[in-house]
A and B are shown apart, each in its own frame.
Chain A
Amino acid sequence: SYELTQPPSVSVSPGQTARITCSGDALPKKYAYWYQQKSGQAPVLVIYEDNKRPSGIPERLSGSSSGTMATLTISGAQVEDEADYYCYSIDSSGNYWVFGGGTKLTVL
């Protein structure tokens, strides 16, 4: 079965740049999407189609994708960015959606 691999945790100081990666064999041909989930809350879409930002999402969150890796970048991370972040994509057949294992971002 298809898998997306993320680092379990990333830690940065306030104001620093945080980068969260997501690797998957189908990513060269399939979009990556990113969701932010704060403790006790439902996920929120923060990046779609590799690098597009929904309205209301701060500009400091950005996405990119190259080859088999997609990256979520948080420039000038703030304490309120602390959350779990999940990448999401579809397998090469186009039939099965998969989430990465999630990355816990700590900003302190």
Chain B
Amino acid sequence: EVHLVESGGGLVQPGGSLRLSCAASGFTFSDHYMDWVRQAPGKGLEWVGRIRNKANNYTTQYAASVKGKFSISRDDSKNSLYLQMNSLKTEDTAVYYCARETYSGSYFVDYWGQGTLVTVSS
């Protein structure tokens, strides 16, 4: 069974940094592209970015709203995904979900973690 568990959320001051982690199990982590998606309180889903697998050179893509501020990385030896968030603003307050992509003629997110809450406030 696919299992994704996020950690590292919490309260951070504006301008601060935070690193989220996602522990994956139940599948061959190294084969899959992985994504981060966030959801501000009471709002909709927002794609944050993705990291491809080793076969695709671990290339990354980011939403315009976080490009240059956030960085996605992975450690296949630890079955872990990371999101480094810098220069945080109050509008970055959200639940951050780790998500797995699968391939079935196209790439898409098929499993999600339960999310970790990041609150940016003074």
**A96 and B114 contact, CB distance less than 8 A:** no
* Chain A binding surface SS class: strand
Question: Is there a chain B Cβ closer than 8 Å to A95's Cβ?
Answer: yes
Question: Is there a chain B Cβ closer than 8 Å to A107's Cβ?
Answer: no
Q: What 1/0 flags go to A68-108 for Cβ under 8 Å of B?
A: 00000000000000001010100000011111111000000
Residues of the B chain whose Cβ atoms lie less than 8 Å from the Cβ of A49: 104-106, 108
Q: What 1/0 flags go to A25-37 for Cβ under 8 Å of B?
A: 0000001010101
Shortest beta-carbon distance from A83 to chain B in Å: 13
Q: What 1/0 flags go to A14-32 for Cβ under 8 Å of B?
A: 0000000000000000010
| CB nearest to B112 among chain A residues | A42
Within 8 A of A (CB), among B108-122: 108-115
A99 to B35, CA, bound (A): 13
A86 to B43, CA, bound (A): 12
Question: Is there a chain A Cβ closer than 8 Å to B61's Cβ?
Answer: yes
Residues of the A chain whose Cβ atoms lie less than 8 Å from the Cβ of B106: 31, 48-49
Q: What 1/0 flags go to B86-109 for Cβ under 8 Å of A?
A: 000000000001000000111011
Q: A86-B44, A95-B61 are in contact. Are A43 and B108 (CB under 8 A)?
A: no
**A43 and B45 contact, CB distance less than 8 A:** yes
Q: A43-B112, A49-B106 are in contact. Are A101 and B61 (CB under 8 A)?
A: no
Q: What 1/0 flags go to B29-52 for Cβ under 8 Å of A?
A: 000000101000000111100100
- A1, A35, A100, A102: which contacts B64 (Cβ < 8 A)? A1
Question: Is there a chain A Cβ closer than 8 Å to B11's Cβ?
Answer: no
**B104 and A97 contact, CB distance less than 8 A:** no
Residues of the B chain whose Cβ atoms lie less than 8 Å from the Cβ of A58: none
Residue ranges of A at the interface with B (Cβ–Cβ < 8 Å): 1, 31, 33, 35, 37, 42-45, 48-49, 52, 54, 84, 86, 88, 95-102
Residue ranges of B at the interface with A (Cβ–Cβ < 8 Å): 35, 37, 44-47, 50, 61, 63-64, 97, 104-106, 108-115
Pairs A-B, 8 closest by C-beta atoms: A102-B44, A97-B47, A42-B112, A99-B45, A101-B44, A33-B108, A45-B110, A42-B114
